[in-house]
Structure 1
Amino acid sequence: MLAQVYGTETIRIQQNHKCNDDRFIEGKHFFKLEGTELKAFKNRLSLSESVGKRTRSLVLWTERGAARHAKMLETDQAWEVFVKLEDCYFTQKQPVPARQSHPAIPFPKERRFVVTVFPD
């Protein structure tokens, strides 16, 4: 999904993450679900059918992590997202309320994420 937003291939998101792993902090920029965590996540989501049965790991990007990709990727769509982030940052007067996530899944206060599936 993140790759679609930025007009690129999923492999580019994976490569960008791997090549810049020191710039992405797990728990702040992304969450990686594997094993029982992934199974519980799939069972609780109504959209779980979009996560393949054989998927061994799932990366959930927070808004901060997705924004980092916008800065690093060199596509027109990524640039547009970065411009919108700048516009929002410099014109925001009141904080935007966070959307609710599933109560059983611990996410940071911002409680927003983008899903990227890494096929193994």
Structure 2
Amino acid sequence: MSNTHRQNYVSVHGIKIYGVEVDRQTRCGHYHSTVDIIAIRFPCCDAYYPCYECHREVSDHPAVRWSKDQTDVKAILCGACGRQLTIHEYLTSKSACPSCNANFNVGCRAHYHLYFDL
């Protein structure tokens, strides 16, 4: 990822979140409801983005999905409390943070195939 793209970030709980119009709980210009409070670390660039559309707009490369054997990797950030969840924790969380109980967007399940090779 080029330096130009890397400058477009917001610090959320001390972690850089790259994207478009990112707020302090990881909401972005694409997804900004009260429950859109997670960011996903992409394996292709080891950087967090609120969504696949932010990755597409801000990065300079195609997104790569997490493989089936990487579910123990901490790749999800709760924008409410800052906990980094493993992919397994996130996928089995019932759309709520296991630390602070903040609700996640249940609609994100429709996009899992963009992030995870399940």
TM-score by length of 2: 0.24
* Bigger Cα Rg: 1
Higher relative contact order (CA 8 A, sep 6+): 1
Structure having the larger proportion of residues in strand = 2
More helix by share: 1
